[in-house]
Amino acid sequence: MIDKKNLPNKVPVFPLSNFIIFPKTSVPLNIFEPRYIQMVNDSMKSNKYIGMIQPKNLKTNNIDSKDLYNVGCLGKITTFKDSDDGRFLIELKGIIIFEIIKEIYNKKKYREYEISFDNYYDDLNEKKREVKFSDLELIFKNLKTLFEKKGFIINWKELEKQSLDETINALAMASPFTLEEKQVLLETKNLDTRKIKISEILKTYTIDKYNHTTVQ
């Protein structure tokens, strides 16, 4: 279990477009830009933490603080491999959601921010809540329809074996919602609110909305 006293008060930030990670989920990342190669190198030498956050403007690489969402997710590097061509292949595990306080100006190629976890310590709760199918029955039903319409494939049986928090966060990350909708889910303060928000977002969709939609 991660003690909140051991969490960093500043973190290097990776502003990655079209990507959101949630607590208790893991994702592979292919790191190839020189500034983020340096960032991963520095992180591996210290606490292995990286802050993942979405830029608001997906069409530009010139990102400053006002172009970032204020809320992201702290990830920890759990596996690391360097390739022959200089890339880093890492796996990042979502730990806890954070809010940006201010940028810390440095001479590095990447950006660092002072951050706060005050509103999100519930993410550190290691007591797993077992999935009650009655809790997620309607969400599963509507998401299955949505996934089928979008052409997404997901192993529902494996998903149902996870704890409630792992299941809800995995659904929030893998669901074919817009990035803005996923950002809303990320910013929820606890698991119960996140589950309610997933239901609310699903209600805004109709089957017809997806009949002529192509997955990007």
Residue-wise pLDDT tens digits, 70-109: 999 999 999 999 999 999 999 999 999 999 999 999 999 9
pTM above 0.85, yes or no: no
- pLDDT over 60 at 211, yes or no: no
| Sole residue written with tokens 């797993």 | 128
For residue 73, give the H/E element and its range: strand 71-82
Q: Could you tell me which residues are beta bridge partners of residue 31?
A: 88
> Whole-angstrom Cα distance, residue 174 to residue 153?
10
In contact, 172 and 184? CB cutoff 8 Å = no
Domains and CATH numbers, the chain: 4-124 (2.30.130.40), 133-210 (no CATH)
> Whole-angstrom Cα distance, residue 158 to residue 178?
24
Residue-wise pLDDT tens digits, 102-141: 999 999 999 999 999 999 998 888 666 555 656 677 777 7
In contact, 115 and 48? CB cutoff 8 Å = no
In contact, 63 and 14? CB cutoff 8 Å = no
Q: What are phi and psi of 55, to 5 degrees?
A: -75, 145
For residue 39, give the H/E element and its range: helix 34-45
Q: How many CB atoms lie within 10 A of CB 215?
A: 9
